[in-house]
Amino acid sequence: MLEVARGLTASGVVPVWGGLLLAAALGVLLVLLRRQHRRHSAAVRTDPLTGLGNRVRLAEVGDRVLAGVSELDGDGHHGPGLLLLDLDGFKDVNDTLGHAAGDALLAQVAGRLAEAAPPGAVVTRLGGDEFAVLLTVPVTSAQAVLHGKRLLAALGAGGFSADGVDLDITSSVGAAVAPTAGRTVGDLLRHADLAMYEAKRSRAGVLPYTADLAPDSTDGLTTLALLRQAMEEGQLTLRYQPVVDAATLELRGFEALLRWQHPTRGLLLPAEFLPLAERTTLVRPLTRWVVLTALRQGAAWRRAGLDTSIAVNVSASVLEPGLLGIVDEALARSAWPAEQLVLEITETAVSNDVGEALEVVRALADRGVRVSVDDFGAGYTSLGQLRGLAVRQLKVDRQFVTDLVGVPEDEAIAASIIDLGHRLGLQVVAEGVEDAAVAERLRELGCDELQGYWVGRPVTPELALARWVVGADAHGAVEDLSPGATRG
């Protein structure tokens, strides 16, 4: 046997067989590695909860179908499209039934969307309760809207349940079609988001993106992108303006006013960025940040000996059931009493959609939150609407306050609002009080509370504490001296 082995080795037979075995082993290993890579690649492109594609999958397919799109395609309104939607009130499901129930609902919604999507469409979950449907077959804007309506109809057909509770699903859809709405997945997502927000605001169900929904310029888009970054990097801040009793000048509360400490442009007022945010879904996380930050600051003040109410402006954009979840979360996380939170809504917001406003305001009132109608006198709220709202306070618009002494018409309007508010059992606050003469006349007219530069400018939390607890004069150390800084 030894001689045979030596002969085989000498003839080269063993090395040949060894090489074949090694090649076979490498081949098997390569097949296994390829299978593992495919499984990993599929996992990277798949949402583990719903089994749908994720953002990676959307970008991958979207880049491919959009690669050949140009402005010369058809009439410029015919190309691949994107439908973007999220669920109304999904946070309430999580908060009430738990995250496991919320996950179960998302899985059901995913299945329903996959069934209702047109042939060739790629249905993806972007995160949370946000879904996107990529229309890979070229469509017109009208056709994209029709597909969106079919998705809403499928969701509205019912049959959803979680933790044994039957649930009704409502949503809004924004549609964006290339090349009009862009030639990249990012462009379509951004513009579909604008259209979806407008559909929610107007309760239209489905709306296509049009140029008038976009911010006014490239600068506006840049500002939005930077604002998202600012929220993540802690560039946003709040200033606090005092509100005092008109008769005694004792502190009654602070209004929290949003500011953006821009890295190159300095301290920006809301007028420079908030209108842009209100046209996108960014306004919701922005509102959540403001309410939560203000109440946490109030809790810190209380521990330092300053016990007061906190008022926060609420955009008309979020005067919807989702606001209740934001408020509930902020109250719970800050351990702040609901009766010491004042939410200020504009008169215009009330007059634009009194039905939804009534529902939301009543729900806030049931929680003990005080609701104030801001800028009263500048909008178009009827007395019937005002009577139906569960509000606790009216704020006289500053245009009727600042020049009240010396302008009989302004005084007559302010006096009428004060009288009307008191007859309805409401507290009345005058904003824009700039001097002692105006403050004195408002006291004579029976106004309950005063706010304005004469009372105090918006200041940092530290300065507010220094003046109203320590007793130092913070007027000489005011940071926010910009024109219009009294406005939130």
pLDDT of residue 384: 55
Summarised one tens digit per residue, pLDDT across range 160-218 is: 988 888 888 889 999 999 988 888 898 899 889 888 888 887 778 898 988 767 655 45
The pTM for the full model equals 0.60
How many other C-beta atoms are found inside a 10 Å radius of the C-beta of residue 70? 10
3-state secondary structure (DSSP) of residue 124: strand
Q: Tokens in use for 349? A: 């917001």
Of all helices (H) and strands (E), which one includes residue 12? none
Which residues are CB-neighbours of 387 under 8 A, at least 6 positions away?
Answer: 424
Q: Which residues pair with 310 in a beta bridge?
A: 254, 341
Supply the mean pLDDT for the chain.
81
* Low-confidence residues of the chain: pLDDT under 50: 1-16, 20-23, 25-26, 28-34, 36-43, 71-76, 217, 380, 472-488
Structural contact between residues 358 and 381, judged by C-beta atoms closer than 8 angstroms = no
Q: Tokens in use for 294? A: 């203000």
| Chain length of the chain | 488
Structural contact between residues 37 and 28, judged by C-beta atoms closer than 8 angstroms = no
Structural contact between residues 179 and 71, judged by C-beta atoms closer than 8 angstroms = yes
pLDDT of residue 116: 94
Q: Tokens in use for 189? A: 């997502």
Q: How far is CA 314 from CA 192, 309, 446, in A?
A: 24, 16, 27
Structural contact between residues 253 and 451, judged by C-beta atoms closer than 8 angstroms = no
